[in-house]
Amino acid sequence: MGDSADRRPGEGLLWAAPLTETQAERLKERIYATITIVAVLMGLFRSPDISHADAALVVVITAVGLWAAMLSADWQVYRIVHGAHPYGRDRRRMVYVTAPLLSSAVLPLVLICLSALGLLTLGAALLASAMANTAGLFLWGLVGGMRMGARPVGAVMTGLFNLSIGALIIFIKFLVDD
């Protein structure tokens, strides 16, 4: 067994095939959406009179708004670069690449629904969603570090860096007074 200098980036049991450009773009969109959703969830958490319906609506509007903004930006860039509207495969690729922005709302919506059924408080649902999404940031960093061929300590450090982004959002939201 050699050290990380003896390995090529991307080698390992869980990542035999390198990410395609499309997969990398989807991951970027998902990470961006996760950071945004964490901030929104913490804002909702700090709102004392928010209803389940209002919380769900804010999460949906945030995710759909992010998706529409990114799809619009991709569409405009395509028109500028190619001098035409995207059609067929190019249009489907744009929707596919930006779709992870919508998936960022799934866990919060599930937990908000469970809260509406009385299985947990709304505050607990919002905080759990923010914490789970922040843990997801750690995992993406960890996997990214390992794909780069980093030793376990380096991969964990990369994960902790990503975790610190979400944790900072949560910490700041706790510090801010209404």
**If DSSP codes are grouped into helix, strand and coil, which group holds residue 30?**
helix
Residue 165: domain span: 19-175
90 Cβ neighbours under 8 A, 6+ residues apart: 78
Number of neighbours of residue 99 by Cβ within 10 angstroms = 14
Rounded distance, CA 76 to CA 1, Å? 49
Residue 137 falls inside a structural domain: yes
CB burial string 127-148: b at 16+ within 10 A, e below:
bbbbebbbebbbebbbbbbbbe
Rounded distance, CA 56 to CA 21, Å? 33
Rg of the Cα trace of the chain? 19
Residue 9 falls inside a structural domain: no
Q: Is the pLDDT of residue 81 over 90?
A: yes
CB burial string 23-36: b at 16+ within 10 A, e below:
eebbbebbbebbbb
Residue 26 falls inside a structural domain: yes
Q: Amino acid identity, residue 124?
A: A
112-161 pLDDT, tens digit per residue, is 999 999 999 999 999 999 999 999 889 888 888 887 777 888 888 888 88
**Domain count within the chain:** 1
Residue 154 falls inside a structural domain: yes
Contact 28, 144 (CB under 8 A): no
Most confident of 21-25, 29-33, 41-45, 111-115: 111-115
pTM, full prediction: 0.79
Residue 71 falls inside a structural domain: yes
